[in-house]
């Protein structure tokens, strides 16, 4: 018969505060996972967002099918007959038939431990479920359901027991990798193309041998910007450039184009000491590593914010999301963090902000035509609209097709040996959507999503950042 009825409104085990001892209690986590999984099973709005939810729903449905098969073998019921004539049955008979089938419904208590944790492992923190879910705390629902934070809690408890895995240790240490780029960047790029080297990397570090790795640029953005200081007599605004570790060593041209656009619009910029925002540490739930990574950024950025500077992030939206939301959520909302959160802008978001104030120059020299614009998950999670699209549409005669599909990369998750194939399958759906409409070019605000789409399309689709299209429209030097 049916399992234990769960009280979906019982939030006694609901906590997203890492300083609360309950957060780290394994029994509390198990009970909370059961409650939230049960809510999701009954809702299923997120069935097509990421691999986690199909994994959960398929496991539940399979459990129900197994119950019915066993009942058939025991002779308790006959083969299931799919009815389409309920309206013709005498009153009440359809309810009798339905009540029999309730016994064979899969329930959360039917799931094995491995099945429950597969859901955790397949969550790559795209956070797309958050704006769709009707039960979240920010919608003031009594269920207080925050699926991404539950997944992080599960990862954190497991990491506390078993330690950080080798591939996570490598993927979180982006600053060290960045220091190696100016010295060994060309050599690393060469070795990354050699099969035996990639085989060893997979076995030792856990990065899939087929994952095309982003190329390292020996001439880092940090090195370049030292010789391109801002020198404006009458700036319209002043900003701190937070380039992100990815822009610094992989996507240097994006940083350069951003600076040239800011210069063109007479925005003063400075580039203070900074390091990786710490986002990679959240994937395994390594909060100690996250805090150590974030603290120097917080202390440095706060000094500039209180002096009237805004923070402009010129890399993957994960980084602006981290400064805006993850710092307050996991490090506490003190004055420093609140000021940083309130004054952080993604580069596209910032330029749209200037335009709304009438301060952005519109002296465009070239058309950019029709753009297929891929919506980055971590921009969508910031719930600020589609600023990359809005930026492109500032250029006259521009048509933008919105492609709202996750690329399945999430930085390190899509690089790992155990998730690479699943990651590429998600990306193939994104590529298919992007190819449905003719366009002059494809854009994405996320450099890592662009990298993933390029690989999944076998080089046929190469998204660029909207900043490059704006740069071209201004007629700035290549």
Does domain 370-474 correspond to CATH entry 3.10.20? no
- Beginning with the edge strand found earlier in the chain, give each strand of the sheet holding 237-242 in spatial order: 267-270, 237-242, 310-313, 344-346
d(CA 183, CA 185): 6
CATH ID of 222-356, from 1.20.1050, 1.10.30, 2.60.120, 1.10.3470: 1.20.1050
- For the chain, the structural domain boundaries read 21-162, 222-356, 370-474
What does each of the 478 residues of the chain score in pLDDT, given as a tens digit? Answer: 445 678 999 999 999 999 999 999 999 999 999 999 999 999 999 988 899 999 999 999 888 888 777 776 766 766 665 555 555 555 555 444 445 555 667 788 989 999 999 999 999 999 999 989 999 998 999 999 999 999 999 999 999 999 988 888 877 878 777 777 777 778 888 888 899 999 998 898 888 999 998 998 989 999 999 999 888 889 999 999 999 999 999 999 999 999 999 999 999 999 999 999 999 999 999 999 999 999 999 999 999 999 999 999 998 999 999 999 999 999 998 999 999 999 999 999 999 999 999 999 999 999 999 999 999 999 999 999 999 999 999 999 999 999 999 999 987 888 898 999 999 999 999 999 999 999 999 999 999 999 999 999 999 999 999 999 999 999 997 6
0.75 cut: is pTM over it? yes
Core vs surface per residue 182-206: b (16+ CB within 10 A) or e: eeebeebbeebeeeeebeebbeebb
pLDDT at res. 122:
95
d(CA 468, CA 145): 39
Residues whose CB falls within 8 Å of the CB of residue 207, separated by 6 or more in sequence, listed in order: 167, 170, 201, 213, 415, 416, 417
Yes or no: say if 138 and 49 are a contact pair by the CB < 8 Å rule.
no
pLDDT at res. 95:
47
Element (H, E) at 344: strand 344-346
Asked whether this chain's domains 222-356 and 370-474 adopt the same fold, the reply is no
Q: Please report the DSSP string for 88-157 in residue order.
A: GSPTTHHHHHHHHHHTT---GGG--HHHHHHHHHH-----THHHH-TT-GGGT-TT---HHHHHHHHHHH
285: alpha, beta or left? (left if phi > 0; alpha if psi -120 to 50): left
**Count of positions (residues) in the chain:** 478
pLDDT at res. 32:
97
pLDDT at res. 96:
45
Residues whose CB falls within 8 Å of the CB of residue 432, separated by 6 or more in sequence, listed in order: none
What is the separation, in whole angstroms, between the first and last Cα of the chain? 69
């Amino acid at each position: 018969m049916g399992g234990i009825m769960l009280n979906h409104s019982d939030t006694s085990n609901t906590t997203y505060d890492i300083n609360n001892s309950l957060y780290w209690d394994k029994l509390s986590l198990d009970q909370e996972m059961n409650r939230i999984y049960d809510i999701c099973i009954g809702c299923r709005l997120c069935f097509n967002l990421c691999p986690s939810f199909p994994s959960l729903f398929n496991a539940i449905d399979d459990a129900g099918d197994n119950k019915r098969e066993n009942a058939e073998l025991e002779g308790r019921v006959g083969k299931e007959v799919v009815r389409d004539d309920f309206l013709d049955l005498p009153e009440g008979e359809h309810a009798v038939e339905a009540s029999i089938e309730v016994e064979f419904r899969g329930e959360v208590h039917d799931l094995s431990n491995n099945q429950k944790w597969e859901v955790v492992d397949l969550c790559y923190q795209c956070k797309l479920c958050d704006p769709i879910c009707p039960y979240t705390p920010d919608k003031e629902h009594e269920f207080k359901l925050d699926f991404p934070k539950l997944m992080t809690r599960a990862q954190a408890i497991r990491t506390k027991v078993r330690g950080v895995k080798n591939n996570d240790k490598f993927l979180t240490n982006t600053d060290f990798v960045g220091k190696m780029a100016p010295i060994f960047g060309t050599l690393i790029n060469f070795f990354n193309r050699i099969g035996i080297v990639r085989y060893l990397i997979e076995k030792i570090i856990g990065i899939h041998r087929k994952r095309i790795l982003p190329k390292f640029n020996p001439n880092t953005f940090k090195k370049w910007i030292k010789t391109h200081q801002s020198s404006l007599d009458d700036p319209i605004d002043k900003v701190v450039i937070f380039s992100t570790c990815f822009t610094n060593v992989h996507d240097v041209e994006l940083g350069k184009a951003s600076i040239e656009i800011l210069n063109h619009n007479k925005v003063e910029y400075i580039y203070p000491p900074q390091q990786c925002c710490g986002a990679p540490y959240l994937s395994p739930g390594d909060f100690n590593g996250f805090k150590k990574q974030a603290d120097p950024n917080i202390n440095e950025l706060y000094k500039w914010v209180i002096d009237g500077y805004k923070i402009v992030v010129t890399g993957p939206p994960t980084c602006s999301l981290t400064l805006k939301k993850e710092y307050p959520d996991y490090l506490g909302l003190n004055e420093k963090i609140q000021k940083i959160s309130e004054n952080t802008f993604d580069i596209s978001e910032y330029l749209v902000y200037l335009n709304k104030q009438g301060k952005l120059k519109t002296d465009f020299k070239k058309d950019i035509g029709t753009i297929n614009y891929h919506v980055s998950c971590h921009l969508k999670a910031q719930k600020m609209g589609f600023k990359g699209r809005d930026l492109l549409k500032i250029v006259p005669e521009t048509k933008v097709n919105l492609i709202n599909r996750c690329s399945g990369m999430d930085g390190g998750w899509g690089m790992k040996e155990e998730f690479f194939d699943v990651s590429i399958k998600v990306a193939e759906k994104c590529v298919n959507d992007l190819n449905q409409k003719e366009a002059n070019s494809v854009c994405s605000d996320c450099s890592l999503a662009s990298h993933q789409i390029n690989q999944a399309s076998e080089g046929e689709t190469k998204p660029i950042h909207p900043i490059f299209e704006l740069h071209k429209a201004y007629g700035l030097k290549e």
